[in-house]
Amino acid sequence: MKTYRKAAKIFKALSSPIRINILILLMEREHCACEFPHLLNISQPNSSRNLSVLKNAGLIESYRDGKKIIYYINNPKIKELIEIAKKLN
């Protein structure tokens, strides 16, 4: 049952177009948290909330670089999942 809960958490995190856009951006390179509001035309609180959902689902990780928080995809299988989802259209 634990495996299904983890899968459900991942799919729930992927249920938002904003979060999918974040993952697509992170597939290209790491990004500072400060970049997402501008890149996605969303507010900073909205950006932070969506980054938190992705991080809590285990889809991304972060590290501190001075005052900046840098986000990246921590698992290449996430990139594969996004590529598969793109092909479903």
Q: Residue 41 half-sphere exposure, CB side, CA atoms within 13 Å?
A: 1
Q: What values do phi and psi take at 14, rounded to 5?
A: -85, 0
Per-residue pLDDT tens digits for 30-44: 999 999 999 999 999
pLDDT in tens, 27-83: 999 999 999 999 999 999 999 999 999 999 999 999 999 999 999 998 889 989 888
User: Could you tell me the pTM of the whole model?
Assistant: 0.91
Using an 8 Å Cβ cutoff, are 60 and 50 in contact?
no
Dist CA 40 CA 26 (whole Å): 13
Give the separation between CA 63 and CA 12, rounded to whole angstroms: 24
pLDDT at 1: 66
